[in-house]
Amino acid sequence: MAPKKKTPAAAAAATEEGEKPQKAGGKKASKAAKAVKQSVVRKVKKVRKNVHFFRPKTKITPRNPKYPMKSTVGRVRMDKYRIIQCPVTTESAMKKIEEINTLVFLVDLQATKLNIKEAVKELYDVKCAKVNTLIRPDGRKKAYVHLT
């Protein structure tokens, strides 16, 4: 599209005011001169100093559930009655009870020494000094509960 010509009346008004009539090429030249005077921003390529690439960190939004994952509260399956299954009543176990004040129980495989200590305290109302455990060759766990 060719540039529009000024009407003779507009050109006469411009010359009366003392302005120079600008052509389309003059606007383009002034725009180019303005660009030359401003500083040029060049994109600098980032120098990699490490051979490993780490994925950029992105926004992690916290979970905002609309309904609970579980409808009911889960019950504790390791209660005192499951931890201590039965006392051992062999001759060697009876000897330990009489001589060194130690009770011997068969306990659950997942029971820890702390769990056994608390279960004995709740069931028998006695205070435990320490608990030793071992797993028998038949795969059951035995606990030696030393009383104070």
Q: What is the pLDDT of residues 58-76, one digit of tens each?
A: 999 999 999 998 888 888 8
Q: Is residue 39 scored above 80 in pLDDT? A: no
Task: Please tell me which residue, 68 or 17, carries the higher pLDDT value.
Answer: 68
Closest CA to 106 of 148, 138, 147: 138
Around Cβ 128, how many Cβ atoms within 10 Å? 20
CA separation for the pair 73, 80 (Å, rounded): 19
CA separation for the pair 142, 88 (Å, rounded): 9
* pLDDT confidence bin for 19, thresholds 50/70/90: low
* HEC secondary structure over 11-28: HHHHHHHCCCCCCHHHHH
Query: How does pLDDT run across 73-126, given as a tens digit for each residue?
Result: 888 888 999 999 999 999 999 999 999 999 999 999 999 999 999 999 999 999
Closest CA to 117 of 145, 142, 136, 86: 145
Q: What is the mean pLDDT of the chain?
A: 87
